[in-house]
Amino acid sequence: MTHKQSAISLDRRDFLKVAIAVAGVSSLGNATAVRAVDATSSGFIDTNVYLSRWPLRRLPCDDTAALVAKLRGQNVTQAWVGSFDGLLHRDIAAVNARLADECRRHGNGLLVPFGSVNPKFPDWEDDLRRCAEEHRMPGIRLHPSYHGYKLDDPDFAKLVQLATKRGLIVQLALAMEDRRMMHPLLQVEPPDVKPLADVVKETPGLRLVLLNAMTLLRGQPLLDLVKAGEVFTEIAMLEGVGGVAGLLKKMPLSRLLFGSYAPFFYFESALLKLKESPLSDEQLRAIRCDNAWRLLAKKSQPN
């Protein structure tokens, strides 16, 4: 094996970690277990996908079977999925149960559920527990703008800490749509991200993935946040010709993930972001799958 091949190949120990974890979960009869992706695969791990219906209009492929077919056709080997229902539905437990069930019934392991938790709802701690213990989800997906809390809210910090203690990845959706496109009766403010660095620093072991972040975070503020801890971002809302290559001039390659925000965005839009940037094979593989794989393989350490 050449030095370059060694650099881009997934570490065998990381592969075994996930494979063993999957075997353990599968032995419990849980069909939503994270499927081990072949380390030699050249496919994608899409870290930003949604199931169910956007509340304000129909989207292409907002039917789970159609979405799975679309993702498979684009060589996606694993998709981390949340639910659009998690934005406005009051019964979060039911939202997460439906999400887990959809992932079990469709995709044969392609879909990996990330549950919703609203720290402003009563018994949210139990919603978090169900995500980890009952549904065996590897992480949660948070929507502060739609759930009405700020990132300096003590309840948010508590949620992040408890999720980290359970070894869960925390995905934080900083935006869902362009403010100019929002319905007049559903205008939401983007969160102020300034307090987020302190939350990261105060939560050892946190694995934080920023979703749709590029509309709010660019340049030095993004780099400062990435330096604060184990913080990752994906490319769905990254704009500009050669944007990925430009971002990598400043940001560590290991912190950048592939995300399409399908079906709200066309999958091909994210794919084009990779094609239009002059990226090496090592960079492409890291963004397409390896970085997400290592993130999933790593277990957070309790405080």
Would you say residue 123 lies in a domain?
yes
Would you say residue 1 lies in a domain?
no
pLDDT band at 182 (very low <50, low <70, confident <90, very high): confident
Q: Which range among 15-24, 254-263, 275-284 shows the weakest confidence by mean pLDDT?
A: 15-24
The dihedral through the CA atoms of 32, 37, 42, 44 has a sign that is: positive
18 compared with 27, residue with greater pLDDT: 18
- Structure tokens given for 291: 């970085």
- Range 164-174 average pLDDT: 98
Would you say residue 2 lies in a domain?
no
- Structure tokens given for 35: 């499927």
Full domain range(s) for residue 113? 8-297
The CA distances from residue 141 to 3, 71, 73, 87, in Å, are: 37, 20, 25, 10
User: Mean pLDDT in the chain?
Assistant: 87
The CATH number of the domain where 90 resides is what? 3.20.20.140
- Range 206-214 average pLDDT: 96
Neighbours of 32 (CB within 10 A): 22
**Cα(156)–Cα(121) distance, rounded to whole angstroms?**
12
Would you say residue 119 lies in a domain?
yes
Neighbours of 235 (CB within 10 A): 25
What is the value of pTM for the model shown? 0.86
Would you say residue 194 lies in a domain?
yes
What are the backbone angles phi and psi of residue 19, rounded to the nearest 5°?
A: -60, -40
Decide if pLDDT at 114 tops 90.
Answer: yes
Q: Which range among 59-63, 112-116, 176-180, 285-289 shows the weakest confidence by mean pLDDT?
A: 176-180
Q: Is 159 helix (H, G, I), strand (E, B) or coil?
A: helix
Q: What percent of the chain has pLDDT over 70?
A: 84
- Range 78-87 average pLDDT: 98
Buried b (16+ CB within 10 A) or exposed e, 139-169: bbbbbbbbbebebebeebbebbbbbbebbbb
Would you say residue 49 lies in a domain?
yes
**Cα(209)–Cα(230) distance, rounded to whole angstroms?**
9
Q: Which range among 33-47, 61-75, 216-230, 283-297 shows the weakest confidence by mean pLDDT?
A: 33-47
219 compared with 279, residue with greater pLDDT: 279
Q: Which range among 3-12, 145-154, 170-179, 255-264 shows the weakest confidence by mean pLDDT?
A: 3-12
Decide if pLDDT at 261 tops 70.
Answer: yes
Give the containing element (helix H, strand E) for 92: helix 92-105
Would you say residue 278 lies in a domain?
yes
- Range 259-275 average pLDDT: 96
**Cα(83)–Cα(302) distance, rounded to whole angstroms?**
28
Looking at residue 182, the DSSP 8-state letter turns out to be S
Q: Which range among 105-109, 181-185, 256-260 shows the weakest confidence by mean pLDDT?
A: 181-185
Would you say residue 3 lies in a domain?
no
Domain count, the chain: 1
Decide if pLDDT at 45 tops 50.
Answer: yes
171 compared with 107, residue with greater pLDDT: 171
Count Cα neighbours of 197 within 13 Å in the Cβ-side half-sphere.
11
- Structure tokens given for 223: 């780099």
Q: Is 97 helix (H, G, I), strand (E, B) or coil?
A: helix
**Cα(106)–Cα(288) distance, rounded to whole angstroms?**
22
**Residue that has been written with the tokens 């979960």 in this structure:** 25
**Cα(294)–Cα(299) distance, rounded to whole angstroms?**
10
Decide if pLDDT at 4 tops 70.
Answer: no
- Range 241-267 average pLDDT: 94
Q: What percent of the chain has pLDDT over 90?
A: 74
